[in-house]
Amino acid sequence: MRIGIIGNGQFGQLLVRIMHEKCPEVEIILYSRRTDSLEKLDKVIKTSDIIIPAVPINQFKDVIKYIAPLLSSGKTIVDVCSVKEYPVRIMKEYISSGATIIATHPLFGPKSWADAEEKIVVHKIQGDESSFLSIKKLFISMGLSIIEMSPHEHDELQARSQFFAQTVRSLAQSLHLEKTQIDTPSAALIFQSLESMGNSHDLFLDMIRYNSSCREILKKMKNELEILLSSSI
């Protein structure tokens, strides 16, 4: 099995490290836009069985539009975006029916990966069942626990979970809120959890831009804060 990873950022590098450690039999080809030519990218697409675009979601459409004409029948595309409905819509629009499309969201990152059992959300968008089973076996060999879930359900739950937590982290950071010597155990636990999160502001903004459920939660939070303020006057 040969896997082509497009993107040499922190998450792309993490995928390479995990696969080298957990799946040494898998051949990995990595493409970096900063150092490699487009000819290298073409080779990655044409010679890989599985292609993983590990790029920021704001670059995802351009990458898919470029690689789509190079995909032959039988290839498998696995996206790893933290939002699901938007990349699925892009892949279905540009990728032919001959390729297998699998939407995933790894529920871990460079900061939270601890070589313990981590989780990944998966959903087959199109393609044959055998390719889907192969991908699930790969994830299991990486030590991942699989959660099968539709893109729509994922994005709704993400807004109520990951996005809510990242909103609290962002607010704490903006307000310079930190642990103090009078923290109660529950307050200390909250600050400890905030410290364990990734702090990519761009990723946080991308959740707002590309997940409508996140925008709805943000509006509801704003309304609730206004109610709290008005009731305290």
Query: Tens digit of pLDDT per residue, the chain (233 long)?
Result: 899 999 998 899 999 999 999 999 999 999 988 888 888 899 999 999 999 999 999 999 999 999 999 998 899 999 999 999 999 999 999 998 899 999 999 998 877 776 556 999 999 999 989 999 999 999 999 999 999 999 999 999 999 999 999 999 999 999 999 999 999 999 999 999 888 777 778 889 999 999 999 999 999 999 999 999 998 77
Q: Is residue 156 part of a domain?
A: no
Residue 214, domain extent: 161-231
End-of-domain residue from the set 124, 150, 176: 150
Angstrom CA distances, 154 to 122, 148, 187, 211, stand at 10, 10, 29, 10
- Same domain? 115 vs 186: no
Q: For residues 28 and 2, give the distance between their C-alpha atoms in angstroms, rounded to a whole number.
A: 6
Hey, which residues does 118 pair with through a beta bridge? 144
End-of-domain residue from the set 109, 125, 150: 150
Q: For residues 146 and 232, give the distance between their C-alpha atoms in angstroms, rounded to a whole number.
A: 45
Residue 208 sits at the vertex; the CA angle it makes with 161 and 187, to the nearest 5 degrees, is: 40
Query: The whole model's pTM is what?
Result: 0.89
Phi, psi of 71 (to 5 degrees): -80, 125
Q: Is residue 29 part of a domain?
A: yes
Does residue 166 contact residue 207 with C-beta atoms inside 8 Å?
yes
Q: For residues 110 and 115, give the distance between their C-alpha atoms in angstroms, rounded to a whole number.
A: 11
End-of-domain residue from the set 150, 177, 196: 150
- Same domain? 184 vs 100: no
